Amino acid sequence: MPLKMLNFVTAPPPVRSKMGPGTPIHESEEWQDLVMALGAGLKPQEYIAIEIPKGHPLYKRMKYPIPAFFRLANKKLKELRLPYDLYTREDTIYIVGRGVLS
User: What are the E-state strand segments in 1-102?
Assistant: 47-51, 84-89, 92-97
73, 95 contact by CB (below 8 A): yes
Helix (H, G, I), strand (E, B) or coil at 35: helix
Secondary structure class of 9 (helix, strand, coil): coil
Under a CB-based contact definition with an 8 Å cutoff, are residues 25 and 72 in contact?
yes
pLDDT in tens, 38-52: 999 888 888 999 999
Name the nearest CA neighbour of 47 among 91, 90, 82: 82
Q: pLDDT-derived band of residue 94, with 50, 70 and 90 as boundaries?
A: very high
- Residues 67-90 have pLDDT tens digits of 999 999 999 999 999 999 999 998
